[in-house]
Amino acid sequence: MMLGYLLGRAGVSTVVLEKHADFLRDFRGDTVHPSTLMVMQELGLIDDFLKLPHTKIAVFAAEIGGIRVKIADFSHISAPCKFIALMPQWDFLQFLADKGRRFPALQVMMSAQVTQLIEEAGRVVGVAATTRDGPLEVRADLVIGCDGRNSTVRAASDLVVEDMGSPIDVLWFRLSKRAGDPSQVLGRLGVDKMIVTIDRTDYWQCAYVIGKGGIGRIHAAGLDAFKAAVAEGARFLSDRVDELKSFDDIKLLSVTVDRLTNWCRPGLLCIGDAAHAMSPVGGVGINLAIQDAVATANLLAAKLKARTLSDRDVDSVQQRRLFPVKVIQALQVAIHNRVLKPAVSGGGRPRTVPWPLKILNSSAWLRRWPAQVLGLGVRPEHVHSPDNP
């Protein structure tokens, strides 16, 4: 949607195909980081954007073995918005779609599900889709697969996927918010468990981390055992775990970290999770996808408009974005293996605060650096694509 907005703004004839009828869908994360807020500012959208309901996080904290530690402090980072905005993804996407309506070059088609690539002489020349009005073919100078971690476009492309593996899965559920609840603490690391609670204004979006493939054991132990584990991991939730009526209220996210070795082939480019599926760790996936979109528009919009795009131009997107993606995925894999895997793999050892976190907790000046990396990523993108609808 962001790339559609940017290309429409640059006057490039663009069709966005979205398989759902609206942007409402299961929880996929809400964290709009300073890098994305900076893009919204560069597009002149920030004031209207921040009028949408959201909560602000200026400090990223965790609770380890019952002790609260501050890990990242956004108030001193080098960005115009020194906080993370927590905003439902559907509000964000609908906002971009509404703002994009003023661009005659942009067409957003809802309920349009891409099913196949159309190829001629080894080159991708379009896609086939199903819509409410029947089958549709869209021919294009460039097809851009931004259809997420289970991308149909990527599966149809024969591009090679490198799987970095993941030792964890995550269970997602909601519990109500009540008066007197603690202020936003994101991660809670206790004995053999890790729970993340995200303040969604009127409810808590909760993530319970389990070992990879551990869902069978959770089901076998039963719902009451799961509720007891949640209550133990985040004690303030113990008075409402009965809101979970069945395992249907608890969604499994199979965590994946992977990357295409080549993000493009003639006529086709993949970006976002379709090119590099991200773990929810750090809440960075949305923001990396947006950064990819900005880089793609910066590098390709003018040539797409002039219809002078070469395959080498398309490859320049991966050249630009590969390093930042590699760095963040390496950090996610390290956190999976060094923090989350030991935390959920049993052993019953009480958790203590590791010394690097003790140091961070004691120094506001040091806490700005993790915030800088988390908030802006590596080599943040700025909007350079033309504003010429």
Site for ligand FAD in 67-86 (CB under 6 A): none
Helix (H, G, I), strand (E, B) or coil at 208: strand
Contact status, residue 175 vs residue 206, Cβ threshold 8 Å = yes
Report the C-alpha gap between 104 and 165 in whole angstroms. Answer: 43
- Residue span binding ligand FAD (CB under 6 A) among the ranges 53-61, 66-74, 146-154, 372-380: 146-154
Give the DSSP H/E element, type plus range, for residue 238.
Answer: none
Task: Assess 383 for contact with ligand FAD (CB under 6 A).
Answer: no
**What is the spatial distance between Cα 130 and Cα 21, in angstroms, rounded to a whole number?**
12
Asked if 233 touches ligand FAD (CB under 6 A), the answer is no
As to burial, measured by CB atoms within 10 angstroms (0-12 exposed, 13-18 middle, 19+ buried), residue 245 is: exposed
As measured in angstroms, the least distance from the Cβ of 238 to ligand FAD is 24
29 is an interface residue for ligand FAD by CB under 6 A: yes
Binding mask 161-200 for ligand FAD (x = CB under 6 A): -----------x----------------------------
The nearer residue to ligand FAD, 273 or 353, going by C-beta atoms, is: 273
- Segment lying near ligand FAD (by CB under 6 A), choices 102-110, 183-191, 280-288, 366-374: 280-288
Q: How far is the CB of 26 from ligand FAD (least distance, A)?
A: 7
The answer to whether residue 340 forms part of the interface with ligand FAD (CB under 6 A) is no
Interaction residues for ligand FAD, span 282-301 (CB under 6 A)? 283-287, 289
Is 28 exposed, middle or buried (CB count within 10 Å of its CB: 0-12, 13-18, 19+)?
A: middle
348 phi-psi bin (left φ>0, alpha ψ -120 to 50, beta other) = left
From residue 85 to residue 124, what is the string marking binding to ligand FAD with x (rule CB under 6 A)?
----------------------------xx----------
- Cα distances (Å, whole numbers) of residue 261 to 147, 270, 272, 275, 326: 18, 11, 14, 9, 11
Could you give the CA distance from residue 339 to residue 323 in angstroms, rounded to a whole number? 24
The site that binds ligand FAD (CB under 6 A) totals a number of residues, namely 28
Measured in degrees and rounded to the nearest 5, phi and psi for residue 157 equal -90, -15
| Binding-site ranges for ligand FAD (CB under 6 A) | 17-20, 27-31, 113-114, 146-148, 152, 172, 253, 272-274, 278, 280, 283-287, 289
